[in-house]
Amino acid sequence: MSAIPLPHRLLDQIAARRARVVVVGAGYVGLPLAVEIARAGFPTTAYDTDGARVQALRAGRSHVRDVPSDTVGQLMQAGRLQASGDPSVLADADAIVICVPTPLNKTKDPDNSFIMAAADVIAARMRPQQLVVLESTTFPGFTREVLLPRLSQRGLRPDHDFFLAFSPERVDPGNPAFGIANTPKVLGAISPISLDVARALYGAFIQHLVPVTSTDAAEMAKLLENTFRAVNVGLVNEIAIMCGRLGLDTGEVIAAAATKPFGFMPFHPGPGLGGHCLPVDPHYLSWKLRTLTYHARFIALADDINSAMPEYVTSLVARALNDRRKSVRGARLLVCGVAYKRDADDIRESPALDILQLLHREGAEVDYHDPHVPALALGARTLHSVALQPDRYDAVVIATDHGAVDYAALVEQAALVVDTRDVTRALRARHGHKIVAL
């Protein structure tokens, strides 16, 4: 009896939900993905080098806010989801999905070391008939130019022995409307054959796939998504600074412009960019273009504006205190919200951290309140969230607009409020004398 030709054997495994899937990296991207794949019926393993994380998952405890521990526990008990720190699971996998961090280094250049480390571990254990998909954000050309040769170093041939694709993650932490299954998924591969295999897997648990012609196009699409947001946030942040100089209400101006039913999309100012994507991803694109002797001007300008917003907020606080015959030095200040976005517990790249540092350097006594972040390390200091008692402070800076905070009560009790999120708009008719808005 002749052997089933590739990739039909792997496609049959996927169609029957017998394909064993290993998700490399069980963080905020990898764990939700592993859970969704397991819920679709595939035997799934979350592979992570963090032993404590692996043990917690095996005990049914989730460290990702959007993934309930009950869901992890049930899938573990049913044998549909496993957690492991043993790289031998990669040799048994039919499909491997890489979901590792891709940060920037100190010079804001891409740091792909986590992908390369994962690729080396995978390549050492690869066997024929495996699908490998990269979801970690990187620069256009990386999958084809860097990852493909890395996986081929032991002689395995793409499209004959293994299949390779890139599908950028679109995780939006805390979003109640869109999760893994119902967020359209861009998918590019190194060839039509690899694309067919990747579509078979992802089509089993995602409602709408968006195939593109190459991994390069999929990589570029991801960077366009987040560069679009970063540039427009930079624009509206500069508009906020302009409105401040002109004595105009930024929110009123944006609301008026947004009534135009075509040609305008409203963005809103804030204290700066935070999180895992917007402050990072555009730099992957600008770095790649620098290698082609092209300067990505919009990206650089938006980064300049967005990176300077914490300093602008600090200057607002200083001016507001000065108007009340107070100095920043020696003032008691409270930063309300330190996560990078509403109702999240993620503080990566949060502009609130810079605001805390800047106010501290100016000589203020600074506390923070955040119901989702009980403690944080800030340089050599460890800070803890304090009870929300606005009347104990000279000013309260609203840096993140968590839904659990009663802003009416906050404004009522506070002596001065600097609002960077426009959550006090409805309160300004009565309390406008003590509210400074961005």
Q: What's the mean pLDDT in 286-315? A: 95
CA–CA gap between residue 23 and residue 306 (Å, rounded)? 34
Alpha helix (H) residue ranges in 275-340: 281-290, 297-307, 309-323
CA–CA gap between residue 404 and residue 347 (Å, rounded)? 17
pLDDT of amino acid 34:
98
CA–CA gap between residue 186 and residue 329 (Å, rounded)? 51
Has residue 254 got a pLDDT over 90? Answer: yes
Among the listed residues 310, 337, 339, the one whose alpha carbon sits nearest the alpha carbon of residue 407: 337
Has residue 4 got a pLDDT over 70? Answer: no
CA–CA gap between residue 144 and residue 141 (Å, rounded)? 5
CA–CA gap between residue 110 and residue 373 (Å, rounded)? 28
Q: How many residues does the chain have?
A: 438
- Bridging pattern class, strands 381-384 and 375-378: antiparallel
Q: What's the mean pLDDT in 361-385? A: 95
pLDDT of amino acid 104:
87
CA–CA gap between residue 64 and residue 76 (Å, rounded)? 16
- Which tokens in the block code for residue 92? 């048994």
CA–CA gap between residue 409 and residue 388 (Å, rounded)? 10
Q: What's the mean pLDDT in 415-420? A: 98
CA–CA gap between residue 204 and residue 164 (Å, rounded)? 18
Helix (H) or strand (E) segment spanning residue 57: helix 51-58
Tens-place pLDDT, residues 192-243: 999 999 999 999 999 999 999 999 999 999 999 999 999 999 999 999 999 9
Share of the chain above pLDDT 70, in %: 99
Partners of 384 in beta bridges: 375
Partners of 22 in beta bridges: 45, 96
Active site members:
277
Contact criterion met (CB below 8 Å) for 184 and 208: yes
pLDDT of amino acid 83:
97
- Bridging pattern class, strands 185-189 and 162-166: antiparallel
Among the listed residues 25, 63, 83, 305, the one whose alpha carbon sits nearest the alpha carbon of residue 173: 63
pLDDT of amino acid 5:
57
- Which tokens in the block code for residue 219? 């990589």
Q: pLDDT band at 77, cuts 50/70/90?
A: very high
Contact criterion met (CB below 8 Å) for 310 and 351: yes
HSE value, Cβ hemisphere, 13 Å, CA-based, for 129: 16
pLDDT of amino acid 359:
97
Q: pLDDT band at 122, cuts 50/70/90?
A: very high
- Which tokens in the block code for residue 1? 């009896």
Tens-place pLDDT, residues 54-76: 999 999 999 998 899 999 999 99
Q: Peptide bond preceding 7: is omega within 30 degrees of 0, i.e. cis? A: yes
Among the listed residues 367, 342, 317, the one whose alpha carbon sits nearest the alpha carbon of residue 423: 342
pLDDT of amino acid 108:
82
Q: pLDDT band at 1, cuts 50/70/90?
A: very low
Share of the chain above pLDDT 90, in %: 91
DSSP letter string over 320-379? HHHHTT--STT-EEEEE--SSSTT----TT-HHHHHHHHHHHTT-EEEEE-TT-SEEEET
The Cα-based distances of 343 to 117, 269, 313, 373 in angstroms read: 33, 18, 21, 10
DSSP letter string over 228-291? HHHHHHHHHHHHHHHHHHHT--HHHHHHHHTT-SSS-------S---SSSTTTHHHHHHHHHHT
**In whole angstroms, what separates CA 368 from the centre of its chain?**
23
CA–CA gap between residue 96 and residue 136 (Å, rounded)? 13
- Which tokens in the block code for residue 367? 């506390």
Helix (H) or strand (E) segment spanning residue 39: helix 30-39
CA–CA gap between residue 124 and residue 251 (Å, rounded)? 55
Tens-place pLDDT, residues 87-118: 999 999 999 999 999 998 878 889 999 999 99
- Domains, the chain: 8-213 (3.40.50.720), 230-437 (3.40.50.720)
Classified as helix, coil or strand, 143 is: helix
Has residue 183 got a pLDDT over 50? Answer: yes
Q: What's the mean pLDDT in 150-172? A: 93
